Structure 1
Amino acid sequence: MSKKRSNLQIAQEQAESTIKKTNDKIEELGKYTSNLYTALNDIQELFDKIRNVPSQKHLEYKKLKEVRLNWKQQVEKIESDYKNAVAKNAGKGVTGVGAGVAVAALGPTAAMGIATTFGVASTGTAISALSGAAATNAALAWLGGGALAAGGGGMAAGNAFLALAGPVGWAIAGIALLGSGLLFWKTKSDQNRLENIFTLISKRDKKSYELAIVELNERISRIKDESVKLNDAIEKIESFGVDYNQMTEAQQYELGAYVNLMSASTQLLVNPILGLQPKYNEKDFSKFISEGNGKANEVLCSSHKDLIIALSNLLYKIKLDDKDKKLLWKSFKKNKKFLSSMNISKKEFDDIILDIVCEALYFRLC
């Protein structure tokens, strides 16, 4: 007779199912962003051939070209970082990562979907709650989400925290941490408390991903529409000739409208999916330090910024009492892999850090 599943396992399975749907949708988005990118390049080539374009209009579409180039470079960086991370972990004998399946799963269109989903800043770097290898984390989380909890399919549980650093990774925390012994407890009561916390996290994230899927569908629909408009515009522009001064006033006006179309389409390419952005980011942290109670512990906060931001994302909208906080603190403190991943020693991981996290979240949500 099979063992009855716990509330955490049920919530986790539901969250994993939603993550899989989200990941599938991100890959689908990548296919459409690929088509959009091609159409934008095609129309850009036509504009580049036109002589005597007023400097203001020329400057506008030149800037758009640079934005798209940044986006494409980020796509390539995601692919490169991901493959490098896989190769590095494979060299260390990490279970699952070096199996070959992972590398094959992250193709160019998937990377495009990830680049659009998580957004590209003007510098060409991925926007993330955490500094460092944001693109790699997003890619690993995209690939390893559901498989991580199952064990061995994506990444070894002992290396969970690399994936957990990415926005899509947090929802698989429950079973990955509890099931692999990465969290510690002394009594059944403590175990129940921990399971309840991660059950709430899984339920929260399930709702978040469901909303993100709606947003992804809306983005795909808009990209489809814009792609059709761009292809129609390409046909029109080809009939205008290559000298702006020889065009009719109506054609010149239409060209201006197409620049606006290129701008709107480019935004669909580079603007992130808001529902999949970190719930707590560096701006929130900076505001907490400058305006909130973070001032009182500014040195400690600054020293462990990544840890505080990561835990703030994990515990976002999760109500904890003093016993919950103490139990979480003890569990994390005993976890060498967690401490190592967050660059903090056991001695440095003071219980005040969880208090600061709760204060930071209260300040963010009040």
Structure 2
Amino acid sequence: MSKQSNLDKSTDRLKALISIVNKLINELGVRDEILYNTLSIIQSQIDKIRNVPSDTLLTYQRIKEERLSWKKQVDKIYDDYESAKKANVGYAASGTGLGVGVAFLGPSAAMGIATTFGVASTGTAISALSGAAATNAALAWLGGGALAAGGGGMAAGNALLALAGPVGWTIAGLSLLGSGIFFLKSLNEKKKLENIFLLISLRDEKKYQMAIVELNERLSRIADETKKLQEAIINISSFGYDYNSMTEDQQYALGSYVNLMNSATQLLVNPILGLQPNYTDSDLSDFISWNVLGRSLINKSDKYKSLIVYLVNLFWAIQVDDSDMKLFINSLKKNKDFLTEMGLSKDELDEKLIKYIQEAIRRKKNQKKN
């Protein structure tokens, strides 16, 4: 039995962490659903109360709109998944490639995904996918990356780039990109490339460890806020339907319940920060409008631009020099599976791509400092 390399060990740890994160996202969806339903009940109670002060009413309406907007996005995620499943009925029904215990995407799981990755970013990501890619995306989230890690075709290709690295896809990406190691003839080059992937994997270990802490904190806060809201529902039922007829204590309590609704709604709509990409399509758009180098990307294909976004995220906070990055890009040029999945030619992966990546990272880091 061959000895495991440091990269193999880190990859195994990463798989385990991603599996935990995905289970927590699923649990988050269950808690989200309870919280959403509880908020809907208290909303229906307050809707019936007359003569509520305008400032309180404005706050309440904003909270209501924010929550309903989030729910629309949840429904879109679920509907997109259902459409993708129907388009791939044979694949989805047979469960081909799925790990043990992989669940299909239900409404509560869609809630967990919407909260984790943020309403706007999730909507963009999911809607950018179609067919098998969308099915694989949802199943990867729920199955701890089992499907994507097993190969996954599109899950390891265009969809991976479109999503810029959500949970469950890290392993798929490294698996596909890492296969480029086998195309290198020099043992020294293979070791250098393996070290790059080790640095990426170790960084992501820390990322998912922090995400687990953040997800557990969110779950705890949701449980606490839900309990408070349930108590508020009982209390409001005795207040009557006219604000002017309420006692001063009841009026004060009603105001505090609106504030409670606000904080609870933020637990639904605010994403898990530790799982957000460091670099997004918006960052690339900013880079394109920034200087001459950026503007030279205007006529590049969307796939090429997506590749830049993905590679910036891949190399984020990784200490590599020019020769390391050149070696990495050369390994991709020799990787026919990768090029096919990306719909790119090897000629597009030139030294200018390295410059784009380096300058994009430098630009974003400088913006973070300011």
- With the shorter chain as reference, the TM-score category is 0.7 to 0.9
Q: Matches of 1:233 and 1:227 in 2, distance apart?
A: 10
Alignment match, 1:251:
250
- The answer (yes or no) to whether the contact 1:306–1:342 under 8 Å persists in 2 is no
- The answer (yes or no) to whether the contact 2:25–2:113 under 8 Å persists in 1 is yes
Structure 2 stretches lacking a partner, 5+ long: none
Aligned residue identity for 1:220? L
Residues 236-294 of structure 1: per-residue CA shift (max 9 Å, x gap): 11000112222223322221221111111101111000000001123432343344674
* CA distance 1:31–1:144, change in 2 (3 Å): closer
Alignment match, 1:70:
69
Aligned residue identity for 1:248? T
**Is the counterpart of residue 115 in structure 1 residue 114 in structure 2?**
yes
Aligned residue identity for 2:211? A
Alignment match, 2:321:
321
- Give the aligned length: 359
Aligned-pair CA distance for 1:60: 2.7
Alignment match, 1:331:
331
Q: Matches of 1:110 and 1:195 in 2, distance apart?
A: 35
**Alignment of structure 1 residues 265-276 onto 2, 5 Å:** 265-276=264-275
Q: Matches of 1:148 and 1:318 in 2, distance apart?
A: 27
Secondary structure, counterpart of 1:299 in structure 2: coil
Q: Matches of 1:350 and 1:198 in 2, distance apart?
A: 20
- The answer (yes or no) to whether the contact 1:288–1:363 under 8 Å persists in 2 is yes
Alignment match, 2:361:
361
My pick for the range that moved more, 199-208 or 175-184, is: 175-184
Aligned-pair CA distance for 1:170: 4.8
- The answer (yes or no) to whether the contact 1:75–1:111 under 8 Å persists in 2 is yes
Secondary structure, counterpart of 1:47 in structure 2: helix
**Alignment of structure 1 residues 288-327 onto 2, 5 Å:** 288-291=287-290, 294-295=293-294, 297-299=296-298, 304-327=304-327
Secondary structure, counterpart of 2:316 in structure 1: coil
Alignment match, 2:234:
235
- In the alignment, which of 156, 163, 170 is matched to residue 160 of structure 1? 156
Secondary structure, counterpart of 1:208 in structure 2: helix
Secondary structure, counterpart of 2:348 in structure 1: coil
Aligned residue identity for 2:191? N
Aligned residue identity for 1:15? L
Alignment match, 1:277:
276
Q: Matches of 1:26 and 1:359 in 2, distance apart?
A: 34
Q: Matches of 2:101 and 2:346 in 1, distance apart?
A: 33
Aligned residue identity for 1:354? I
* CA distance 1:147–1:128, change in 2 (3 Å): same
Alignment match, 2:49:
50
Aligned residue identity for 1:216? L
Aligned residue identity for 1:286? S
Aligned-pair CA distance for 1:69: 1.8
Aligned residue identity for 1:69? L
Structure 1 stretches lacking a partner, 5+ long: none
RMSD of aligned Cα (Å): 3.3
Residues 124-182 of structure 1: per-residue CA shift (max 9 Å, x gap): x626689824994863441355424652xxx5356412246342245314652267569
The TM-score normalised by the length of structure 1 is 0.85
- The answer (yes or no) to whether the contact 1:86–1:97 under 8 Å persists in 2 is no
Residues 86-122 of structure 1: per-residue CA shift (max 9 Å, x gap): 444566899965769787342332221111111113x
Alignment match, 2:84:
85
My pick for the range that moved more, 110-119 or 271-280, is: 110-119
My pick for the range that moved more, 68-77 or 293-302, is: 293-302
Identity level (%): 53
Q: Matches of 2:314 and 2:126 in 1, distance apart?
A: 13
Aligned residue identity for 1:230? L
Q: Matches of 2:10 and 2:71 in 1, distance apart?
A: 37
Aligned residue identity for 1:357? I
Q: Matches of 2:229 and 2:355 in 1, distance apart?
A: 52
Q: Matches of 1:182 and 1:195 in 2, distance apart?
A: 7
Residues 211-254 of structure 1: per-residue CA shift (max 9 Å, x gap): 11111111111111111111111111100011222222332222
Q: Matches of 2:310 and 2:271 in 1, distance apart?
A: 20
My pick for the range that moved more, 190-199 or 203-212, is: 190-199
- The answer (yes or no) to whether the contact 1:116–1:271 under 8 Å persists in 2 is yes
**Is the counterpart of residue 286 in structure 1 residue 280 in structure 2?**
no
Secondary structure, counterpart of 1:168 in structure 2: coil
Aligned-pair CA distance for 1:64: 2.0
Secondary structure, counterpart of 1:104 in structure 2: coil
My pick for the range that moved more, 169-178 or 305-314, is: 169-178
- The answer (yes or no) to whether the contact 1:83–1:103 under 8 Å persists in 2 is no
* CA distance 1:285–1:102, change in 2 (3 Å): farther
The TM-score normalised by the length of structure 2 is 0.84
Aligned-pair CA distance for 1:3: 1.8
**Is the counterpart of residue 34 in structure 1 residue 33 in structure 2?**
yes
